[in-house]
Structure 1
Amino acid sequence: MDTSDTPSVTVTAPQRLRVIKRTGDLVPFDAGKIAVAMRKAFLAVEGDNADAFSRVRDLAEQASAAIEQAFLRRLPDGGTVHIEDIQDQVELALMRAGEQKVARAYVLYREAHARARAEAGDIARPHPSLNVTLADGSTRPLDLGRIDTLVQDACAGLENVDPQRIVEESLKNLYDGVTVDGVSQALMMTARTLVEKEPNYTYVTARLLQDNLRREALSFLGIAEEATYQEMAELYRPAFLAYIERGIAFEQLDPALAEFDLERLGAALDHTRDSAFTYLGLQTLYDRYFLHRDEVRFELPQVMFMRVAMGLALNEDDREARAIEFYDLLSRFDYMASTPTLFNAGTVRSQLSSCYLTTVPDDLDGIYSAIRDNALLSKWAGGLGNDWTPVRALGAWIKGTNGRSQGVVPFLKVVNDTAVAVNQGGKRKGAVCAYLETWHLDIEEFLELRKNTGDDRRRTHDMNTANWVPDLFMKRVFEDAEWTLFSPSTCPDLHDLYGAAFERRYEEYEAMTRTGEITLFKRMPAKDLWRRMLSMLFETGHPWITFKDPCNLRSPQQHAGVVHSSNLCTEITLNTSADEVAVCNLGSINLAAHIIDGELDDAKLKRTVRTAVRMLDNVIDINYYAVPQARRANFRHRPVGLGIMGFQDALYAQDIAYASDAAVAFADRSMEQVSYHAIEASSDLAAERGRYESFDGSLWSQGILPIDSLEKLRLERGESYLDVDTSATLDWAALRDKIADQGMRNSNVMAIAPTATISNICGVSQSIEPTYQNLYVKSNLSGEFTVVNAHLVHDLKARGLWDEVMINDLKYYDGSVQPIERIPDELKTKYATAFEVEPKWLVEAAARRQKWLDQAQSLNLYIKGVSGKKLDVTYRMAWLRGLKTTYYLRALGATSVEKSTVERGTLNAVSNQAPGANAPAPQPPASEPRGVEDFLTGKAGSGSRAPSAGDLDELGCEACQ
């Protein structure tokens, strides 16, 4: 059964994959040997019979191919695997196939042979004379002293990590002639395998990765061939100076950066902050953020943060002091700018904004101009929200041709394909969301845009969609009344109306349908349309449900226009028109970094918020605008969107469960403080720099703050349709007085975005999300990463419960602690995962935040065991609690992490990825239709067909954060 001793059958893997045998010899990878080993294992248990042979042959072929592909995914550019790695994978394959008896026999066989080798003195040792191949093809002896230094540096200051184990295990994976990168890979791969046993190994792996980064950047910049962590204390400054010079020469960096006092800024770089990265965070920066030339990254982490800080300080009076202030905030992970800002700040094309919102007019020239604007904005890494409500419906009369309109849907197909073609400068997928109001006559076809069945010419598989729902529709649902659909060409003013004015005009149009003045319409029970909306949301994940009236009635800028839609991620609520493309600039406070000794540090939070608001305001003046309407809107209104991330980690640090009144109270209290300090910071900026142009007439100018605007919503909607807590703890009267005296620098100040990748960079939980799983593998464009809940591990260790059995139990139960009997109930409550938290807690916490926000929040709803009733109740509750928007509906997907043995040699013992967040799960085939009534009565099954939750990294929302 030992795969190293089995005869060769067929070499199927490319020759770039090689195997290190226990002797240290290097041989080609041969998948045929895997199949032979599995057949031997079966025959040893099952005996030689025809049925067993047939079953084993098919399984062995499939498993050997799968193992080969796993190694190729792990090492796409080639490399080496240890024989123990392969044998571990054979065990996994047998267990996945349900062949526990054979797997157990295989394990016992391996153990017996290991004992025999040990008794014979045949213990695996590194080759006695290993040489390393350099980039120029020359060789040199392996420097064991440097390896020890690298590993000791990587483990410094971390508890429960073993540098000697990393060195010993890594040496077993080396061979004579290994490349320099191969040595680094062996060290990182060894550390990565240990993450699930001890979360601190993620920091070890990241620090080992730093060696690669330093070697690549420093050699390119001509500073040094390589450097240790300690040496970077002296080398960061010259590297920074060389980087600025090279970057400008390459026409990548803004020449204005050379005008800074570079010596002063270089001296401010703190190499110790490199140690704060998790492996996922650092690998993400390397793969997607660092500047590169001919695929060589010549930017280092602290250099990148300083580049961003300089780019945001270009117009400051004391640029160096402000740049250092901004750098400190970013490099300490107290606050993180959005992805477009990290990409482009300080570069020659500083497109720093995250979100763009447009309104599409009802004429052919305007429609294609809007699509062109989409392409230009997407090119420079913007996420898009399009309001399509003005476009006339299917069957509406076209005056110019005396024909009939094809409606909105054919144009949306063009928008979809444009987003695919213009993929944000080649860095990320293009991302756009189309919004349509619920009274639009095309709404029923709009609901089905993401279905996998039907006419594909009327489907948009790559873009997002969202319902823009007026309060009147929700009232009709509650009252079980009728609802009428219109073409906007018949009633164009509905688009710009909201609240009581919308209700009055809508009812007038309904009366016209009864007198014959309007003939193009459709009447239906409101509940029928509501069921279809929920059904499509369940089946395809779209359209999202967002609410028009609270977005407008609580908007500070209702005097200057109308909010016609939200953005790609449903957190931005800004006015749009033919003349203005709304723009929002985003960044997020790391809430977890402001929990000190189990309490929210208000003084630190205030300092962070004030600097963050200043950075966001600077974006407006520095930003590159791809279309003039965006520049016009941004300079007139100056909106920014300061949000939060690490909410779940902040709860853990306070020993609070997400599903609790204490968590709801913390959501309220923390958001109140962020809101207060952000609004005050904007007002103080107004005193320093001047009020935004359209301030007069705004709610701010009337002394109406976000908390006060709830009363306006209550008056317009009706007392019985709003149930919101309005308590406060801070001195808001004093802040109103300050705004009356100083004004505001920004029309909008807050919005909670998804923080898809920037939370990875900071190593904290995303946005306001609950924990997805306590142990899983995150898969994104940077690879696969074992993620283990370090807070849980800490608590289990404190109780003496963290061991190999617990690790395997967590794998078996897909990261859930609920079925594990020996875990105390208080820990089960604290570490309940997203699908184990009742959605009412998500809504309640969101409602407490929403009262403090002048914009909205990206609120994902996790629902386990979806039923029509549960969806109905959840979304009605969201509306009654005054939420402005909701985002993805996530139902539990049918995926799991591996149930694996976890011993040496495995690169990622948990290698099944958590399910992708954006992609919908497989749809039912056309032969298995599922009606709306089946869904809403619970006959459609569980949520396994809904978009699965998990790794939130690859959402279109990444365009925002």
Structure 2
Amino acid sequence: MQIETNPTAAATEAPASAGSVTPSANITATAPGQIRVIKRNGTVVPYDDSKISVAITKAFLAVEGGTAAASSRIHETVAKLTEMVSTTFKRRMPSGGTIHIEDIQDQVELSLMRSGEHKIARDYVIYREQQSQKRAEKNADTDTSSTYSIEVTMADGRRMPLDIQRIHTIVGEACAGLADVSDSDIISEALKNLYNGVSQEEVSTSLVITARTMIEKDPNYSYVAARLLLDNLRAEGLNFMGVAESATQQDMSTYYPQALSAYIARGVELELLSPTLQSYDLKMLGDALLPERDLQFTYLGLQTLYDRYFIHSDEVRFELPQIFFMRVAMGLATEEVNKNERAIEFYQLLSSFDYMSSTPTLFNAGTLRPQLSSCYLTTVPDDLHGIYGAIQDNAMLSKFAGGLGNDWTPVRALGAYIKGTNGKSQGVVPFLKVVNDTAVAVNQGGKRKGAVCSYLETWHMDIEEFVELRKNTGDDRRRTHDMNTANWIPDLFMKRVFDGGNWTLFSPNDVPDLHDLYGNAFEERYEHYETLAANGELKLFKTMPAENLWRKMLGMLFETGHPWVTFKDPCNLRSPQQHTGVIHSSNLCTEITLNTSADEIAVCNLGSVNLALHVDENGLNLDKLRKTIRTAVRMLDNVIDINYYSVPQARRSNLRHRPVGMGLMGFQDALYKQHLAYGSDAAVTFADTSMEAISYYAIEASSELAEERGSYSTFEGSLWSKGVLPIDSLDHLVKERGADYIEVDSSQTLDWDSLRETVKSRGMRNSNVMAIAPTATIANITGVSQSIEPTYQNLYVKSNLSGEFTVVNPYLISDLKARGLWDSVMANDLKYYDGSVQQIDRVPDDLKTIYATAFEVEPRWLVDAASRRQKWIDQAQSLNLYINNASGKKLDITYRMAWFRGLKTTYYLRSLAATGTEKSTISTSSLNAVSSSAAEPGPAPVPDACSLDDPDCDACQ
């Protein structure tokens, strides 16, 4: 097969859109939007897709010949394939860039396979390998010293010889202590992408990207890539602060203490940091920094911090990782009596990854405007002034990085009478369109998308139109494509669904008290209004079979991913704050359940324990967990007093009730460490006992704080004050709902009797203490699985605001290595089967069970594990449900089970896989691009949400 193997004269290393490295690392082009190609001899030429066309044509001719019959097909096919390859690079590098010839050939090969031209692709692969061997033989007899004579263009325009010795030092340091990584492989691959006159930034970028593209070969390359990125960060930050031009990791024991004081001074000078940070003993805090903890980061974690969290000036990040954690710790300790000691305590917890504060806290702690809270819940009143006041509150809260949950149930329905104008209402939907556009316009200070979820109770007359808000068809003026929606469902509706009864819809201005009622009181009043409607005493109502509305709700959930299914009565019947009001909705991510009213906007402050770091093969380390939670609850409580409140109703509510939300992440990692399958009774039991321990220690910690600082002001009359803990409130739900409609486990293992007495005597510092948030980004930072999520895939490409990243399950790879099964064939099989091991014959059955992915775990296991957790939690949990081959019947069974098992809320429905690695048999280290793939045909793709770092969920954590 005689074809040219230089289809365009070049190809790129990693695309700019495939995960940024540094702001200064964008590969330059000769003109805006132009792509350049590095040839094998190091020369750089413009990208020319005609050469791709020629190369592919020669490949076809070599296999199929040049007959007239074949000519037409070849011409059309080549044109399509050429366009496919070129589009890939233009999409990846819209601003231009530099690629290597091998990358172009990889894409040619990939396009042939994707188009079903397997015979052509096979010959193309064989020919490439033959040519590669010839070049290797030729190079073996050639002096390669010329590689190191490359000149590098420095930032000031000077040209200097490439410092190959420093490259060896930096790469060697990055690989130190890591098994199955090769510094020589990284260096040799990176040097291929260099050319005479290459910029200093491109040299660093080449090293990082080379390591990054090897992650699918071994997960440890993720740590290598992160450490190479650290070299860039150190140079950028230390130089900006005037501490040093560059530094190795070993140097940081000297430079970190100096850098902290320089950083604080520069940050205050630039009006980026609060001057109160200068009142700390900066020498004491600088000496407490632990440089070795920089080595804990995966590439995804460090790149995420760099892109989105580090303090910067004119796009220059001058905040280094350990300084970042210390800045957050200092920000949270400003009102402590012994603030230096507390700052060090908080720093040690954060930098160890044992616990992580939520994203707003990480963004804003220690700054001039410390908006540290995660979630805000509001109730919208039924008057025009109040409606637009609520929308203004949304804008102000979103501006400072708050995630929003709005209760719209009080607003009268379409067709309801308006006394002031003698007209008829347009209902809720037109206002929700304004809410949607406000969330888009006010995008959390430019850091991420504004995010809001609107809730409507199931008896509202507008509920049928509400469930259709996310449809892609219909009048676009009555659609909200960017806003989340959720059903707020009373138990009576679910009982009618189970019993085959009818359901009546009302306008809230006719039945105003239903909004504030729940349990048996709601049922009695609702049936009273049904009687009035049947007698003709209410004009605006609609009656239908409850099951019909239920089917429509599930149908829209299947089609659009919304509205989410949340349950009003368990949220209220188990609330410790029943004496002060009513819970009318949850929040953006369905884990917060707090009272709201016209006078109070509920606020919650979040953080998550890294469960993976509190577990080993022997199970939970209870002593470590207790120590972590005691410090973490203190940090969360401090947020309430330090926090910047953009609206007065939020401040009033937060200071009165002081709710916090202690959550967890890394649940799947904790299972892996114990060799437990997610879909097993053992995993359900672990979900129970681990949440019991978190609940026990969180309540204990809040009670200890109450003894030190005093109880929250509305403690008296709460369930806490009566010695009723979350586990006890479960009995109240069973009694009110009726034993025929609920099945829950109430077993317990710890000494709850003594804790009840402690809480009654000491009080509680916080009205609420637990909520499991999605942890979309902070789990990335700490390198563990998100929240309580099962593994999405064992090998896939993750796409988020920082770019595209190869993610490999390190536990699976470790187990495969231990059995001598990890090799390039296994890696390719994993890619081919979209990260699943179920169809790979060489993988033993026990590993197939343990490493089943999210869509391979039956939904009942997710619900059962969530039910066991829910009995210990005073708020709720963000529970995504994964359903393979979803159908109406499966959805019906799963969501009925969620209610029957006593869950308070559910979150996203996952019925489709959103991303997948390219099915390529190539053995190069090119980063695979994201490709769309569906687990089944039919419904529109469900948003990635928290399991894949959707920005909406990110607003919580």
State the TM bucket, normalised to the shorter chain: over 0.9
1:205 is the counterpart of 2:225? yes
Query: Per-residue deviation at 1:40?
Result: 1.0
Q: Which amino acid aligns with 2:900?
A: L
Pick one of 146, 150, 165 that aligns with 1:145.
165
Pick one of 948, 953, 957 that aligns with 2:953.
957
Tell me the alpha carbon deviations over residues 893-926 of structure 1, each in whole angstroms, 9 at most, x when there is no partner.
375421223434x430x322577xxxxx99xxxx
1:708 is the counterpart of 2:704? no
Equivalent in the alignment of 1:634: 654
Equivalent in the alignment of 2:506: 486
1:246 is the counterpart of 2:266? yes
Cα distance in 2, alignment partners of residues 766 and 4 from structure 1 = 43
Cα distance in 2, alignment partners of residues 700 and 601 from structure 1 = 27
Contact residue 779 and residue 951 of structure 1 kept, 8 A: no
Query: Per-residue deviation at 1:168?
Result: 1.4
User: How many matched pairs?
Assistant: 935
Equivalent in the alignment of 1:795: 815
Cα distance in 2, alignment partners of residues 811 and 866 from structure 1 = 24
Tell me the alpha carbon deviations over residues 183-206 of structure 1, each in whole angstroms, 9 at most, x when there is no partner.
111111211121111110000000
Equivalent in the alignment of 1:80: 98
Equivalent in the alignment of 1:495: 515
Which has the higher mean CA deviation after the structures are superposed, 256-265 or 178-187? 178-187
1:870 is the counterpart of 2:896? no
How has the CA–CA distance of structure 1 residues 430 and 895 changed in structure 2, closer, same or farther, with 3 Å as cutoff?
closer
Contact residue 864 and residue 943 of structure 1 kept, 8 A: no
1:505 is the counterpart of 2:525? yes
Query: Per-residue deviation at 1:944?
Result: 6.3
Contact residue 297 and residue 781 of structure 2 kept, 8 A: yes
Contact residue 464 and residue 568 of structure 1 kept, 8 A: yes
Cα distance in 2, alignment partners of residues 288 and 262 from structure 1 = 25
Tell me the alpha carbon deviations over residues 107-143 of structure 1, each in whole angstroms, 9 at most, x when there is no partner.
1211222233344457784635111111010011111
Cα distance in 2, alignment partners of residues 699 and 272 from structure 1 = 46
- The alignment partner of 1:396 has SS state of strand
Pick one of 901, 923, 926 that aligns with 1:907.
926
Equivalent in the alignment of 1:440: 460
Cα distance in 2, alignment partners of residues 113 and 883 from structure 1 = 61
Contact residue 778 and residue 914 of structure 1 kept, 8 A: no
Query: Per-residue deviation at 1:513?
Result: 0.7
Pick one of 428, 434, 437 that aligns with 1:417.
437
Pick one of 203, 206, 211 that aligns with 1:186.
206
Cα distance in 1, alignment partners of residues 9 and 700 from structure 2 = 75
Cα distance in 2, alignment partners of residues 776 and 454 from structure 1 = 35
How has the CA–CA distance of structure 1 residues 320 and 6 changed in structure 2, closer, same or farther, with 3 Å as cutoff?
closer
Equivalent in the alignment of 2:6: 4
Cα distance in 2, alignment partners of residues 914 and 132 from structure 1 = 39
Q: Which amino acid aligns with 2:765?
A: R
Contact residue 892 and residue 949 of structure 1 kept, 8 A: no
- The alignment partner of 1:524 has SS state of strand
Query: Per-residue deviation at 1:651?
Result: 0.1
1:63 is the counterpart of 2:89? no
Pick one of 356, 359, 362 that aligns with 1:336.
356
Cα distance in 1, alignment partners of residues 676 and 932 from structure 2 = 25
How has the CA–CA distance of structure 1 residues 344 and 82 changed in structure 2, closer, same or farther, with 3 Å as cutoff?
same
Which has the higher mean CA deviation after the structures are superposed, 406-415 or 795-804? 795-804
- The alignment partner of 2:415 has SS state of coil
Q: Which amino acid aligns with 2:82?
A: S
- The alignment partner of 2:765 has SS state of coil
Contact residue 332 and residue 635 of structure 2 kept, 8 A: yes
Cα distance in 1, alignment partners of residues 261 and 932 from structure 2 = 41
Pick one of 656, 671, 684 that aligns with 2:691.
671
Cα distance in 1, alignment partners of residues 700 and 497 from structure 2 = 40
1:837 is the counterpart of 2:839? no
Contact residue 778 and residue 913 of structure 1 kept, 8 A: no
Equivalent in the alignment of 2:804: 784
Cα distance in 1, alignment partners of residues 900 and 488 from structure 2 = 16
Cα distance in 2, alignment partners of residues 774 and 808 from structure 1 = 12
Contact residue 671 and residue 678 of structure 2 kept, 8 A: yes
How has the CA–CA distance of structure 1 residues 81 and 804 changed in structure 2, closer, same or farther, with 3 Å as cutoff?
same
TM-score (norm 1): 0.95
How has the CA–CA distance of structure 1 residues 484 and 7 changed in structure 2, closer, same or farther, with 3 Å as cutoff?
closer
Cα distance in 2, alignment partners of residues 891 and 45 from structure 1 = 41
Query: Per-residue deviation at 1:808?
Result: 1.0
- Give the 5 Å matches for 1:491-890: 491-890=511-910
Query: Per-residue deviation at 1:15?
Result: 7.0
Cα distance in 1, alignment partners of residues 76 and 875 from structure 2 = 57
Cα distance in 2, alignment partners of residues 383 and 350 from structure 1 = 15
Unaligned 5+ runs, structure 2? 11-28
Tell me the alpha carbon deviations over residues 43-102 of structure 1, each in whole angstroms, 9 at most, x when there is no partner.
111111345333333443343344334334555554432222221221111111111111
How has the CA–CA distance of structure 1 residues 860 and 894 changed in structure 2, closer, same or farther, with 3 Å as cutoff?
closer
Cα distance in 2, alignment partners of residues 543 and 352 from structure 1 = 28
- The alignment partner of 2:133 has SS state of helix
Cα distance in 2, alignment partners of residues 105 and 440 from structure 1 = 64
Equivalent in the alignment of 1:918: none
Q: Which amino acid aligns with 1:533?
A: M
Q: Percent identity?
A: 69
Cα distance in 1, alignment partners of residues 7 and 500 from structure 2 = 74
- The alignment partner of 1:583 has SS state of strand
Cα distance in 1, alignment partners of residues 136 and 325 from structure 2 = 51
Equivalent in the alignment of 2:16: none
Pick one of 884, 891, 900 that aligns with 2:911.
891
Equivalent in the alignment of 2:113: 95
Equivalent in the alignment of 1:37: 55
- The alignment partner of 1:584 has SS state of strand
Q: Which amino acid aligns with 2:44?
A: L
1:263 is the counterpart of 2:301? no
Contact residue 12 and residue 30 of structure 1 kept, 8 A: no
Cα distance in 1, alignment partners of residues 940 and 95 from structure 2 = 35
Tell me the alpha carbon deviations over residues 147-187 of structure 1, each in whole angstroms, 9 at most, x when there is no partner.
01101110111111111111111112211111111111111
How has the CA–CA distance of structure 1 residues 635 and 951 changed in structure 2, closer, same or farther, with 3 Å as cutoff?
closer
Cα distance in 2, alignment partners of residues 887 and 745 from structure 1 = 29
Task: Give me the CA root mean square deviation.
Answer: 1.9
Cα distance in 2, alignment partners of residues 744 and 557 from structure 1 = 12
Cα distance in 2, alignment partners of residues 604 and 879 from structure 1 = 34
Q: Which amino acid aligns with 1:21?
A: K
Contact residue 432 and residue 463 of structure 1 kept, 8 A: yes
How has the CA–CA distance of structure 1 residues 741 and 118 changed in structure 2, closer, same or farther, with 3 Å as cutoff?
closer
- The alignment partner of 2:202 has SS state of helix
Cα distance in 1, alignment partners of residues 390 and 122 from structure 2 = 63
Tell me the alpha carbon deviations over residues 743-774 of structure 1, each in whole angstroms, 9 at most, x when there is no partner.
00000000000000000000000000000001
- The alignment partner of 1:395 has SS state of strand
Unaligned 5+ runs, structure 1? 916-920, 923-939
Pick one of 344, 353, 363 that aligns with 2:373.
353
1:114 is the counterpart of 2:116? no
Q: Which amino acid aligns with 1:752?
A: I
Which has the higher mean CA deviation after the structures are superposed, 50-59 or 829-838? 50-59
1:277 is the counterpart of 2:297? yes
Tell me the alpha carbon deviations over residues 411-442 of structure 1, each in whole angstroms, 9 at most, x when there is no partner.
00000000000000011000000000000000
1:196 is the counterpart of 2:216? yes
Q: Which amino acid aligns with 1:114?
A: S
